[in-house]
Structure 1
Amino acid sequence: MGQSKLLASIVAGAAVGAALSMLDRATREKTIASTKKMKEAISYYAANREELQVLVEEKVLAAKVLCESVSDNVNTIAEKVDEFKDLPSTIQGMIEDTKTAFTLPHKE
Structure 2
Amino acid sequence: MGQNKLFKAVIAGAIIGGIVSMFDRATRESTVATVKTTSERVKYYAQNRDELMQMVEGKIEQAQSLYDTAQTSITKLVENADQLKGLPETIQAMVGDTQKAFAKDETTNGAN
After TM superposition, the score normalised by the length of structure 1 is 0.91
Deviations 1:10-68 (A, max 9, x none): 11111111112112111111111111100110010011011111111111111111111
Unaligned residue ranges in structure 1 (runs of 5+): none
Alignment of 1:11-22 (within 5 A): 11-22=11-22
Q: In 2, distance between residues paired with 1:17 and 1:3? A: 21
Indicate the residue corresponding to 1:106 in structure 2: 108
Classify 1:2/1:99 alpha carbon distance in 2 versus 1 (closer, same or farther; 3 Å). Answer: closer
Q: Kindly state the Cα deviation for residue 106 of structure 1 after the two structures are TM-superposed.
A: 2.2
Unaligned residue ranges in structure 2 (runs of 5+): none
RMSD: 1.5
Instruction: List structure 1 segments (4+ residues) > 3 angstroms apart after TM superposition.
Output: none
Count of aligned residue pairs for this structure pair: 108
Structure number with bigger Rg: 2
Q: Which amino acid aligns with 1:103?
A: A
Indicate the residue corresponding to 2:67 in structure 1: 67
Q: Kindly state the Cα deviation for residue 2 of structure 1 after the two structures are TM-superposed.
A: 6.6
After TM superposition, the score normalised by the length of structure 2 is 0.88
Higher helix share: 2
Alignment of 1:8-87 (within 5 A): 8-87=8-87
